[in-house]
Amino acid sequence: MMFLYPVLLSLISSGALAATCPSLPSSPQLQSITTLPDPFSWHPLQHSGRVTTLSDWQCRQSHISTLLQQLELGTKPPAPSSVTSTFSQNKLSITASNAGKTISFTATITYPSSGAGPYPAMIAYGGLSIPLPPGVATITFDNSQIAQQNDQSSRGKGLFYTLYGADHPAGAMMAWAWATSLIIDRLEATPAARINTARIGVTGCSRNGKGALVAGAFDSRIALTVPQESGTGGSGCWRLAAASEGAPQDVQTAGEIVQENVWFSAAFNTYANDVDRPPFDHHMLAGLIAPRGLVSIDNAGYQWLGPWSSLGCMGTARLIWQAMGVPDRMGYSMSTDHPHCSFPDQQRGDLFAFINRFMLGMEVNTTVQKNYAGIAFDSKPWVNWQVPTLT
């Protein structure tokens, strides 16, 4: 008996969960799924029954993460063998080495005008295009330098690929997510930077909004994820974009997005014209963030973004937070028409509720489900599964 206790404790602390979480088959058999896939099924693992407990769900989330990396986004490498940083004059300069290659990049911190820190901080891909309440720092870095995003010729170009090789499977968004995690690692190790790493947010608009969603999904230290007007490939679902395209709208589809740029892994080319095949859609990408904070900021003004798809996809994602008993940690705001990436006053309160709660630690009501444009989405044809109460 004396002996068992320490063994049990060490099993728990070393992640004994892993022992009860079956591995996915290396080449899973994928079924065609014409509705939004059930996040709480085990498919493509051969397994009877559905996810019913929080610990099942943790296991299932790890499967969803693996599948998204294999089939859509490419793998996110862990921090490389050597990473160092210096901090001076608001600049965090990071040097990373791997297998004889070395790269350097810089993150710039803009501090709030008052207080002493450590401050919550919003990492803003491509610069900040949302308002922030007082007291929140902003961190920017050149994500397009980490992985280029000009067009198809950008495949394998950028500092990430200098380090890991041009044929690394990560698409540009996964490379940015990797860099974001490196920045958070170095902020944790740099108290002089005065950033509270338990209160980090990530945002970006349009293509960078898709990227913000991916960053939030693949680093559990990010307290709040704010994709802004991220459209197809972000807050939109592949299947919903395909269904709304040409009916009569001109919505960007997966087939078009992989022609436009290199945000996704080359592995996704196989599925871009066969979107019923992946065992996930973007409600499940968003669901990797649960139970952390997510607020999706969308704009009804552009058919190309697929507003109906985003509304339906994120509404379905929220069922995952609901299953976990925390639906108010996932918010949604669809504005009326306004210029792309210019933040309208209409959505300010929706956004600030989330920042106040998850970054400034205020007790505020984040039950935010706003559809100012009044778009109708009927979930019945798309969601043919019940929401469990995970215990």
Ligand X SMILES: *[C@@H]1O[C@H](CO)[C@@H](O)[C@H](O)[C@H]1NC(C)=O
Least spacing, CB of residue 329 vs ligand X, in Å: 13
Bond into 169 cis (ω within 30): no
Tokens of 1: 């008996």
Least spacing, CB of residue 368 vs ligand X, in Å: 8
Nearer to ligand X, 17 or 368 (CB): 368
Evaluate whether 224 touches 123 at the Cβ level (below 8 Å).
Answer: no
Q: How far apart are CA 54 and CA 285, in angstroms?
A: 18
CA angle 286, 291, 294 (to 5 degrees): 50
Least spacing, CB of residue 354 vs ligand X, in Å: 13
DSSP secondary structure, 72-128, as one string: II---PPPPSEEEEEEETTEEEEEEEETTEEEEEEEEEE--SSS-SPEEEEEETTS-
Q: Which 307-366 positions form the footprint of ligand X (CB under 6 A)? A: 365
Which positions from 196 to 235 touch ligand X by CB under 6 A, shown as an x/- string?
----------------------------------------
Nearer to ligand X, 32 or 365 (CB): 365
Q: Which residue out of 65, 85, 129, 206 is catalytically annotated? A: 206
Least spacing, CB of residue 367 vs ligand X, in Å: 4
367 near ligand X (CB under 6 A): yes
Nearer to ligand X, 272 or 353 (CB): 353
Beta bridge partners of 109: 139
Phi, psi of 371 (to 5 degrees): -140, 70
Q: How far apart are CA 316 and CA 293, in angstroms?
A: 16
Least spacing, CB of residue 365 vs ligand X, in Å: 4
Least spacing, CB of residue 233 vs ligand X, in Å: 30
Least spacing, CB of residue 366 vs ligand X, in Å: 8
- Whether 283 is a known active-site residue: answer no
88 near ligand X (CB under 6 A): no
CA distances to 38, 157, 223, 343, 347 from 295, in Å: 22, 31, 11, 14, 11
Nearer to ligand X, 81 or 365 (CB): 365
> Which residue is it, tokens 């028409």?
337
Nearer to ligand X, 158 or 331 (CB): 331
391 near ligand X (CB under 6 A): no
Nearer to ligand X, 117 or 291 (CB): 291
> Which residue is it, tokens 């299953």?
323
For ligand X (CB under 6 A), the number of binding residues is 2
From the list 120, 122, 168, 121, the residue with the least C-alpha distance to 146 is 168
Q: DSSP strand E in the chain: where?
A: 82-88, 91-98, 101-110, 119-124, 137-141, 195-205, 222-228, 293-299, 330-335, 369-371
Q: For the chain, first and last CA: distance in Å?
A: 30
Nearer to ligand X, 367 or 391 (CB): 367
- Whether 235 is a known active-site residue: answer no
Binding site for ligand X (CB under 6 A): 365, 367
The residues assigned a catalytic role are 206, 340
